Amino acid sequence: MTKKILVTEDLVQEGIDSLTEHGYEVDMLIDPTVEELASAIAPYDALIVHPNTVVDSSLLDAAENLKIIGRAGVTVDNIDIEAASERGVIVCNAPNSNVISAAEHTMALLLAAARHIPEASASMHEGQWRRADFMGSELFGKTLAIFGLGRVGGLVAERAAAFGMNLIGHDPYCSPERALHLGVTLYDDMAPVLAQADFITVHLPRTVSTLGMFGADEFAAMKDGVVLVNAARGGIFNMDALADFVAAGKIAAVAVDSFEAEPCTDSPLHEFENAILTPHLSPMTHEAQRRASTQIAEYVEAGLEGGMVATAVNLSPLPPEVFDAIGPYVHACKMMGSMASQILGHTPKSLKVELAGGLADADPAPLLAAVLDGGLSYRRLGAFSAANAESVASQHGISVTTASVRDAGEYASSVRIVADEVEVAATLFGTEHTPRIISLMGYKIDIAPATTSLVFEYVDAPGRIGVIGTILGDAAANITTMQIGTKPEESCALVYMNVEGDVSEAVLDRLRGAIDLRNLWKITL
Ligand SMILES: NC(=O)C1=CN([C@@H]2O[C@H](COP(=O)(O)OP(=O)(O)OC[C@H]3O[C@@H](n4cnc5c(N)ncnc54)[C@H](O)[C@@H]3O)[C@@H](O)[C@H]2O)C=CC1
Ligand SMILES: O=C(O)C(=O)COP(=O)(O)O
């Protein structure tokens, strides 16, 4: 039967043509109301949207045949990813389609603001010739602060470096290597970045932590005469507070391309001549729109044909034969990824995933994706899929290797990961496939981890467990299971302890003070 695809927003014809040439039936229902879309969606296998079509759980409930949603662009914040995943619907985007256009638009806004181009042009159209009123400043030698050093932020850094700007930035998830490569001095806190910048540009996703990230306190902490640009997402700057600071002259100019509600025809900034406002023009180039159309057509087709979707932002379903081989290990691998990242405390530089015994011939990609997903799950957008795991890992500065060994020792199969200096291995136990940790930091143990665990490493000596037990008992934390591994050659022991009850920082400090610990980690799964 012919597969049906519904397109709900303008899409360059090239992508549509390629889908029809490949035998799909493509229908256009441009800018439908919520009700129109809900009553039309049932027969469709795929849905292609831009930013304005809201795909929420009630639409997905009506979408009985839907297998894949393609977002012709980067941002998927109009799609309820979790609801789609729960229903087994793949969500994919075209993450590289418009990032160059977005970075170039950012540069255009920076330059336009620095040289008063919109106001000067408007005055010329009114028949005036006012050179002295539009004295500008050079970008050269000025400090540009970039918040968010992902795809667009990185491209802006490269372009601003060519203008001779000093680059500083803030992005808790950007690796030091990436920052070094981009020539950006990274700061953990916003304060020093705000205090130094002559120009500030944001390239952040819209999340709970970035909405309103720039308000009155942040604007007050900036240099007098600062220039601000937001070509990312509306809502990152608090517009009312921003207008107050523009009115007071603290902010010399502001350029905004993206608004909290679009279309936007009125905002607190509309009255200011030194506020440059563009109607979400960042992606509006022939090149970006053409890429968005052709790339999304290719990914949607891959999804409909059961192939791996390279840009899936939620896990695409594994083909049954792959699932049979490795599916039960997905949960264990997510758990190990989370455990390793909690022990490490930062994003690893290198990650090795080794499949042993019965898994030796299996494709490691889905398990690598699961390890990364467990370890980097702070990314609200962009879950790892088997197809994108390596490339997303490298974006985060993680170099990935996979290996297989035939010998799994006393187990039928196992997976071992090494994230920088942290090693952890797991096997599955019984018909329920319960994950058991069989090695941690080189210590041989055998334990099924609970929601909260404490891991102690210390120089082995009698009485240690007693001291630990007493402190936890006093804190009303109950030890439910425990395993001890030793390294006799180093006289060291590692205790993996599952606990119930609250183990606060104060209790951890007491434990650290009471015995001579090499390490103590609290792990929450
Ligand atoms: N107007 C336009 O045409 C386009 C807009 N966008 C928007 O621009 C933004 C950036 O897009 P990409 O670079 O593709 O995304 P990305 O995901 O590659 O990069 C976002 C970066 O922000 C960082 N980040 C997340 N939370 C943060 C926080 N609280 N503080 C500091 N850094 C944080 C992440 O670590 C990541 O490095 C997104 O909001 C996207 O929606 C993207 C493409 C085109
Ligand atoms: O992809 C994005 O995030 C963009 O903002 C690009 O614009 P669009 O939403 O595709 O019109």
Report the distance separating Cα 470 and Cα 448, nearest Å. 23
Residues 6+ apart with CB under 8 A from 432: none
10 and 64 co-located in one domain: yes
pTM to 2 decimals? Answer: 0.74
CATH number at residue 58: 3.40.50.720
Report the distance separating Cα 476 and Cα 492, nearest Å. 28
- Please say whether the beta carbons of 43 and 65 come within 8 A: yes
- Please say whether the beta carbons of 374 and 449 come within 8 A: no
Task: Write down which residue in 422, 441, 460 finishes a domain.
Answer: 441
CATH number at residue 328: 3.30.1330.90
Report the distance separating Cα 302 and Cα 19, nearest Å. 11
Q: Is residue 455 part of a domain?
A: yes
Helix (H, G, I), strand (E, B) or coil at 101: helix
180 and 62 co-located in one domain: no
Could you tell me if the CB of 50 is within 6 A of ligand 2? yes
Report the distance separating Cα 310 and Cα 473, nearest Å. 50
**Amino acid residing at 250:** K
Q: Kindly report the protein residue whose alpha carbon is nearest to atom 9 of ligand 2.
A: 51
Q: Which domain holds residue 23?
A: 4-96+287-305
Helix (H, G, I), strand (E, B) or coil at 14: helix
Under DSSP, the state recorded for 38 is H
**First CA to last CA across the chain, in angstroms?**
44
Q: Is residue 310 part of a domain?
A: no
Cis before 263 (ω within 30): yes
Residues 6+ apart with CB under 8 A from 364: 353, 355, 402, 404
293 and 390 co-located in one domain: no
Residues 6+ apart with CB under 8 A from 142: 165, 166, 198, 199
Could you tell me if the CB of 283 is within 6 A of ligand 2? yes
Q: Print the SS3 string covering 248-294.
A: CCCEEEEEECCCCCCCCCCCCCCCCCCEEECCCCCCCCHHHHHHHHH
H or E segment and range at residue 117? helix 117-125
Q: Kindly report the protein residue whose alpha carbon is nearest to atom 6 of ligand 1.
A: 232
Count structural domains, the chain.
Answer: 4
How far does Cα 55 stand from its chain's mean position?
Answer: 20
Using the mean position of ligand 2's atoms as its centre, give its distance from the Cα of residue 171 in Å: 21
107 and 88 co-located in one domain: no
pLDDT of residue 460: 87
Report the distance separating Cα 436 and Cα 90, nearest Å. 30
Q: Which residue has the tokens 């941690």?
A: 440
505 and 430 co-located in one domain: no
- Please say whether the beta carbons of 156 and 201 come within 8 A: yes
The closest of 79, 227, 102 to 159, measured between CA atoms, is 102
343 and 209 co-located in one domain: no
Could you tell me if the CB of 51 is within 6 A of ligand 2? yes
Q: Is residue 282 part of a domain?
A: no
Q: Is residue 312 part of a domain?
A: no
85 and 119 co-located in one domain: no
- Find the ligand nearest to 101 CA: 1
In the residue annotation, 262 being an active-site residue is answered as yes
Could you tell me if the CB of 75 is within 6 A of ligand 2? yes
Using the mean position of ligand 2's atoms as its centre, give its distance from the Cα of residue 151 in Å: 13
Give residue ranges with CB within 6 A of ligand 1: 74-75, 98-99, 102, 147-153, 170-174, 203-206, 209-210, 231-233, 257-258, 280, 282-283
Report the distance separating Cα 262 and Cα 233, nearest Å. 11
Render 430-447 in DSSP notation, one character per residue.
TTTTEEEEEEETTEEEEE
Quick one: which atom of ligand 1 is closest to the CA of 257?
1
Task: Write down which residue in 441, 476, 500 finishes a domain.
Answer: 441
Using the mean position of ligand 2's atoms as its centre, give its distance from the Cα of residue 283 in Å: 6
Q: Is residue 194 part of a domain?
A: yes
pLDDT of residue 397: 83
Render 310-330 in DSSP notation, one character per residue.
TTBSSPPPPPHHHHHHHTTHH
73 and 109 co-located in one domain: no
401 and 471 co-located in one domain: no
Pairing of strands 422-429, 434-440: antiparallel
| Cα distances (Å, whole numbers) of residue 500 to 302, 451, 475, 479 | 46, 8, 11, 6
Report the distance separating Cα 192 and Cα 212, nearest Å. 19
Give me the catalytic one of 233, 416, 436, 464: 233
pLDDT of residue 492: 93
- Please say whether the beta carbons of 89 and 112 come within 8 A: no
CATH number at residue 484: 3.30.70.260
**Long-range contact set of residues 189-195: C-beta below 8 Å, sequence gap at least 24:** 190/147, 190/218, 191/221, 192/168, 193/145, 193/147, 193/168, 193/169, 194/145, 194/218, 194/221, 194/222, 195/221, 195/222, 195/223
Report the distance separating Cα 142 and Cα 430, nearest Å. 63
In the residue annotation, 280 being an active-site residue is answered as yes
Report the distance separating Cα 348 and Cα 342, nearest Å. 11
Helix, strand, coil: what percent of the chain each, to 5?
35, 25, 40
H or E segment and range at residue 305? none
Helix (H, G, I), strand (E, B) or coil at 11: coil
Q: Is residue 178 part of a domain?
A: yes
Q: Which residue has the tokens 């299971």?
A: 481
260 and 333 co-located in one domain: no
How far does Cα 455 stand from its chain's mean position?
Answer: 29
204 and 259 co-located in one domain: yes
110 and 212 co-located in one domain: yes
Give me the catalytic one of 64, 82, 86, 262: 262
Length of the chain: 525
Which of the listed residues 52, 81, 146, 151 should we mutate to test ligand 1's pocket, taking the one with most ligand atoms within 8 A of CB?
151
Per-position b or e across 151-189, b if 16+ CB within 10 A of its CB: bbbbbbbebbeeeebbbbbbbebbbeebbeebebebbee
Digits of tens for pLDDT over the chain (525 positions)?
Answer: 899 999 999 999 999 999 999 999 999 999 999 999 999 999 999 999 999 999 999 999 999 999 999 999 999 999 998 888 777 788 999 999 999 999 999 999 999 999 999 999 999 999 999 999 999 999 999 999 999 999 999 999 999 999 999 999 999 888 888 999 999 999 999 999 999 999 999 999 998 889 999 999 999 999 999 999 999 999 999 999 999 999 999 999 999 999 999 999 999 999 999 999 999 999 999 999 999 999 999 999 988 887 778 788 886 666 667 777 787 898 899 899 989 989 998 888 999 999 999 899 888 888 998 898 787 654 433 456 666 677 778 877 889 999 999 999 999 999 999 999 999 999 999 888 889 999 999 999 999 999 999 999 998 888 889 999 999 999 999 999 999 999 988 889 999 999 998 899 999 999 999 888 899 999 988
Helix (H, G, I), strand (E, B) or coil at 474: helix
